[in-house]
Amino acid sequence: DAGVIQSPRHEVTEMGQEVTLRCKPISGHDYLFWYRQTMMRGLELLIYFNNNVPIDDSGMPEDRFSAKMPNASFSTLKIQPSEPRDSAVYFCASSGTSGGARYNEQFFGPGTRLTVL
């Protein structure tokens, strides 16, 4: 398996522009997570999905952020409009359930480094 795939790897945009980050989870995984990593706040969970349904979006910073998962093999994180403080590395991770376990290993993608000028 190719692992979790994220695109683009780097994105530079200007303040006010719309930004869309993409993620393809590992085939067969039914959980998908979006994280943001910054120097100031570390690694934060933004939102996660189970079977394409958003389960917890309490980490989404504000209404400018939205995430969708239209099918089991694709998810997007959109920022509109973008601001300089959104500059960060955004990670996508996926995991598969087994027997209703409380936790299953999350596999991370390489991340998208976003710079908002």
Binding site for other proteins (CB under 8 A): 4, 31, 33, 42-43, 45, 48, 50, 56, 91, 93, 95, 97, 102-106, 108-111
Looking at beta carbons only, is 45 or 72 nearer to other proteins? 45
Q: How far is the CB of 101 from other proteins (least distance, A)?
A: 9
C-alpha distances out from residue 77 to 3, 6, 26, 65, Å: 19, 11, 17, 7
Looking at beta carbons only, is 76 or 97 nearer to other proteins? 97
- CB 70, CB 52: distance < 8 Å: yes
User: Radius of gyration (Cα) for the chain, nearest Å?
Assistant: 14
DSSP class of 60 = -
The number of residues in the chain equals 117
Q: How far is the CB of 63 from other proteins (least distance, A)?
A: 22
Q: How far is the CB of 40 from other proteins (least distance, A)?
A: 10
